[in-house]
A and B are shown apart, each in its own frame.
Chain A
């Protein structure tokens, strides 16, 4: 067998192993069986360790044979007219680090959760979602075309929302999961339209075709310059949702409702960086769209500053970490916008690992503070007096109040974006009912029907206590 075919097999196996584990677990649970907690944790651990081993083997193999990228054509799912959905996997300098991170971090978190979630009623659900997430993330970073990437992207989104709403007997987690889901969907429009446009201009969704000439970080996008800006802006929009950038950032701190290990893996480690990955992957488009790149830099920097300010007034472990992560991801996006791709990649890798560890240790806040105070030999003087002194008191207070209110971003979105949208929808609904009544005989319990029709629109984002 040629090295290329061995590498292709390795690459497909990386994805296949967690998929098999997921199917096995889902199958057993669907049959109504309850395997022991130990078995489930072992299945997850073994499959992800195996995937990690395969990824390392691929890395070594590629290094030895000097292969820059491995493209695996698994086949064609379907074809409609000009459009074809190919199942292609891509392993290159960009996707390999993400694959390694995904396998290592999910594996570790899987192990961690075996004791953390021990005896929790949602134990099996958690592992099912964790495996689904691992598969989704691998699909996202190994996709050889933007269509397959979109599939992974959506699966990551749904697992994220379901894990935020993990404690579904309380109201707040469910509302907050729903909020994250809504923001994801809104921004996914960007990815979907961008995918269609890329296919339209490049006549293919495959990265190797659409961005030919050279491997990542090189490549040339087959998108005309006049369209590149809009495509790139759509991609930026898509990444802003998943990577929690201003003004869509409000869901991230709220996502801390899930169990600690899922917060760690999603919002410290992987999911939060998915937007950055998307932009890195499609960077040839960004190269042709300087305006979009400038917008990206601006979004990243504004987010970084916003998150820094808001993070400084947070008084709890998890919100602090959420804003810290948001700030670093903002910087990463700015780096991408500036064309510092390699730097961004290194930044992501380091950040993902460090932040995951910090999230896992979040309940140790008391312990760590105590140690610091003790070693310093007494009460450590309060922080924040350093830059602060430079500002006039009134401005300080103004900034503080703004930061404590999270900059009012969420309420702003609700009032100026969601509100008008809902009003328009309500108006259309009324109009439709008005006209509809003339042509269609009204069903018996009209009122029930109308309330069903408005339900998705009237879902509000207020959150319950606890």
Chain B
């Protein structure tokens, strides 16, 4: 959504400072999170701004900029290796992919004087090295854990024998001949004298005779101690030569310098003032008093508040107030002045602004987001501008830094002086011990003894050190991650390829099915479809983006305003209203709802102010014990009670959708009211073509939208339908069925060559993925002749939703593994209305695969609710028109969901929003931690905790040639694939041969394919297991007719 994608700073030649500032601001903005107000949660790639880079480089670059992790920690991957989630074969393949031979890079591949080659060294390092260590750990390991006198665990016997065998004669003769003085056994890096070291590690008096004795009693201790001393010495010597290595560039912000110099963080002073002000500015009607002068923008409103407010004893505000007189009134000028006060040249502006914006990226991000998309504000949008925010921020930053410098360093000069003064401070020297320890460890692994290490040339030592630097923790984790993904990839592609060999995906044969059902592509619908097919094998299912091609601004009977129900990339042009259907209960319904809202507002919310609060506490106080007890002890009972009360006092009137175009012109919301017949036919025809449903129509076709409802959950909307832009897709499904049933639309379609039999009826439905409720729309309009089919349809869905709930429950640790299906359904119903439940559902967690192809490819496969299923029939799309459309629409959406989960899982504090438990809904735009913090963007830990961070694996039923053409036509998709933000595999539509994309070419799967496990029903496969499950064949789900 961020409009600009500037990569580098703007050219510094701009004459006009304002113009230059605009460029710098755009640059600063493009790294901000693009999450809008939380009420409508849209998943997007957290690192969208980096998509022009290859994935593996982007995560590292972004990690550096944001201080975030690019991959999981090494220990996590090693656990995966222990659990068999990664095999050594995966690791070798990943190494081969990641580290090409040194020869091709012009490097010498042999290290340690030819004792080991590079790749083998890397492999050993991955599997067993500790490497990352700080001084304290090294001390602990060497002194307390005995690593100074014993080989590390996992060092092979030959290596031990070599090291000990070489060291003993050498040490003995070197000491005797005087080639080695006793003092040479000192540890120069940790400052341990030789006498101490010998006494402690070899356990003898520090004399040549003592060492002779030690060599006989404990040669291992002598060999290891010598090796450490040698490693330390060689590291120290080598380090002298590489002093001029690349040092980290100086910090950009004055705050960093002051923090480093004084230990006090100016940001703490600034945030205490800025966070309340900015949240009050963007408030969407939570506060009783809106901020005055909001219409003038944040900078003007803030300045005015400080100038005309009471003289609060807040030092930073006092400083700010003093500075107002000398500050330009316009935010742009004020910002330029701040930048100039800091003594920054225009070339440095963009980096400075970027760093300032990143101090509170959530708030800066929401300002930018509402600046570019004011329509996203749920209620009222004050004029948000990033420049306003940064103008205030930068001035406060400077003042806070100066204040602390005055108090702690007695600095009386200007900000520019302060920067010069602190900027010249030499950074402390980094310790060499970690580097020496790594050398020590490698030497043990490779069987290099102390004399051998001493014998290496400086260049050889340098080569090892260079290799260690090149294969640092980021590089190692990259390899680990590739191995982790490879294991998953083969675990999906192998079974799919094998399944394809055994079945024919074409659906042209066999009798016409009695029921067809189209669902959203959402991976949470995979299980519902599977169970439906298991229950009724004659049913056919399809997957389409859950807005079903209908981009509408919808306002339901119970809604306060219109909501767009379509992907965020589209802007709805048509308005659809839900209106009463000649029901005389409607006026009473509306009136009572209004009364109820007034009551709720007056009592529950009113109790927050003084007098009404006092009245409310007397009146409601003890009474509220009843709902509270019920809510906590048995939320489900309360919900049923409330439902019964609603049915009694607030019966919902019959409604219909106003789908016909009511007027030719756009209304005052700039929307067309409803659709014309050709417009309807366009949309119906296109969707049916997309999913390949153009012949063999069943008498009953169900269209199922989805959404999710839960209580006490600020992230509720993140569980809704992504294709509806974080809305609920029920109205789209209902509308689609109504449109497709219109005789005029059928006639129009017929004239275009799409024969929809008169006998076929569409029916709309809605699946709540949280409580697994299925709602059907307009059933009274289904012709009587379909009564039997309708019963069959509903029975199928009843079974499917129960089993869906059952299958979901295996993931919830709080549900016993032996729960029965009916109890599972009751559990998810209670879960959805439980105030205490931070995990009402797991949402998209575990998503990993996206299949574009006929259902025959996946039908009868247990995909564990991890695969988006996009229906696509290559046999009716020879030119790839439809596929291109589908990939362009759903590739980025699927990747967005998948990558948001990836990043929120990999670094939940930085990319996600941390644990939900202290979250505090703020201004209706997002959540903070507790009393006041940055606006937290991304996903909370409770949503992602069971996720597996793998890039989306897209399996497309198409040919390499066609995909190549599509990539050219749709560069957005091409970039995602080429830069490896998604993984791509192809299944040939005719031959069924599976190939994987690998840097521009398609390579076959490794042979042979493993046999596929087979069970009769899904339940037999998932029952009593919580972990991620491999793919299996579900025989009941395969079509009986085929």
Contact = CB atoms under 8 A, between A and B. Distances in A.
Interface stretch (B137-145, B450-458, B601-609, B887-895): B601-609
A258 B920 CA distance: 11
B292 interface: yes
A401 B609 CA distance: 19
A380 B309 CA distance: 29
Contact of B604 (A120, A358, A411): A358
A353 B622 contact: yes
A349 interface: yes
B116 interface: no
B929 A172 contact: yes
B760 interface: no
Contacts of A136: none
Interface in A147-162: none
Contact of B921 (A118, A365, A384): A365
Contacts of B923: 315-316
Interface residues of A, number: 107
Contacts of A117: 917
Interface string B896-940: 000000000000000000011111111110001111111000000
Interface string B571-598: 0000000000000000000100110111
Interface of A: 104, 108, 111-120, 166-167, 170, 172-173, 176, 253-261, 304-305, 307-308, 311-321, 323-324, 327-328, 331, 346-347, 349-358, 360-380, 382-384, 388, 393-394, 396-398, 400-405, 407-408, 411-412, 415-416, 460, 462-466
A318 B931 contact: yes
Interface centre among B279, B289, B558, B836 (most CB of A within 10 A): B289
B601 A382 contact: no
Given A367-B716, A416-B313, A259 B39 contact: no
Interface centre among A253, A256, A353, A363 (most CB of B within 10 A): A363
Nearest to A104: B625
B308 A315 contact: no
A465 B268 contact: yes
Interface of B: 38-39, 264-265, 267-269, 271-272, 275-277, 279-280, 283, 285-293, 304-306, 308-310, 312-315, 317, 359-360, 379-380, 558-561, 590, 593-594, 596-598, 600-601, 604-605, 607-610, 613-614, 616-622, 624-625, 627-629, 631-633, 711-714, 716, 813-814, 834-839, 915-924, 928-934, 942, 945
B627 to A, nearest CB: 7
A129 B930 CA distance: 19
Contact of A317 (B38, B292, B921): B921
Which A-B residue pairs are the 8 nearest by beta carbons?
A350-B621, A401-B309, A375-B597, A408-B312, A257-B930, A373-B560, A316-B922, A324-B608
B287 A115 contact: no
B292 A405 contact: no
Nearest to B266: A462
Given A403-B289, A405-B317, A346 B618 contact: yes
Contacts of A376: 560, 594, 597-598
Contacts of A363: 712-714, 916, 919, 921
Contacts of B945: 119
Given A357-B627, A360-B835, A374-B559, A365 B617 contact: no
B834 A115 contact: yes
22 contacts: A172-B930, A254-B930, A258-B918, A315-B923, A324-B609, A351-B621, A354-B621, A358-B607, A360-B628, A361-B835, A363-B714, A363-B919, A378-B560, A379-B285, A380-B285, A380-B601, A400-B305, A404-B277, A408-B313, A415-B313, A463-B271, A465-B360
Contacts of A255: 931
A327 B615 CA distance: 13
B1027 to A, nearest CB: 16
Contacts of A384: 287-290
A100 to B, nearest CB: 10
Contacts of A323: 608
Nearest to B919: A363
Given A367-B716, A464-B265, 5 more contacts: A111-B836, A315-B287, A357-B628, A379-B285, A462-B272
A374 B560 CA distance: 4
A351 B624 CA distance: 10
Contact of B287 (A258, A314, A368, A401): A314
B543 to A, nearest CB: 30
B313 A365 contact: no
Contact of B813 (A119, A256, A328): A119
A366 to B, nearest CB: 6
Contacts of B621: 349-354
A358 B627 CA distance: 11
B609 A366 contact: no
Contacts of B632: 108, 111-112, 360
Contacts of B633: 108, 111
B308 A383 contact: no
Contacts of A313: 280, 287-289, 291
A439 to B, nearest CB: 32
Nearest to A320: B608
A308 B610 contact: yes
A351 B623 CA distance: 11
A354 B617 contact: yes
A462 B273 CA distance: 11
B930 A258 contact: yes
A255 B716 CA distance: 26
A398 B309 contact: yes
Given A104-B625, A315-B287, A260 B379 contact: no
B716 A366 contact: yes
A394 B308 contact: yes
Contact of B917 (A259, A307, A380): A259
A305 B279 CA distance: 23
A47 B22 CA distance: 64
Contacts of B293: 397
Contacts of B713: 363-364
Nearest to B306: A401
A323 B276 CA distance: 15
A383 B836 contact: no
Contact of A366 (B264, B590, B836, B921): B921
Given A354-B624, A366-B39, A374-B560, A317 B607 contact: no
B922 A315 contact: yes
B292 A400 contact: yes
A315 B286 contact: yes
B292 A369 contact: no
A112 B992 CA distance: 53
Contact of A114 (B610, B836, B918): B836
A365 B286 contact: yes
Nearest to A264: B628
A372 B600 CA distance: 8
A256 B922 CA distance: 13
A323 B287 CA distance: 12
A193 to B, nearest CB: 29
A374 to B, nearest CB: 4
A116 B924 CA distance: 22
A402 B305 CA distance: 9
B637 to A, nearest CB: 14
A176 B932 CA distance: 11
Contacts of A308: 609-610
Contacts of B600: 368, 371-372, 375
B276 to A, nearest CB: 6
Given A316-B279, A316-B922, A365-B921, A354 B620 contact: yes
A311 B628 CA distance: 24
A319 B558 CA distance: 30
A257 to B, nearest CB: 4
Given A362-B921, A411-B313, A113 B836 contact: yes
B180 to A, nearest CB: 36
A350 B813 contact: no
Nearest to B278: A315
Contacts of B838: 115-116, 118
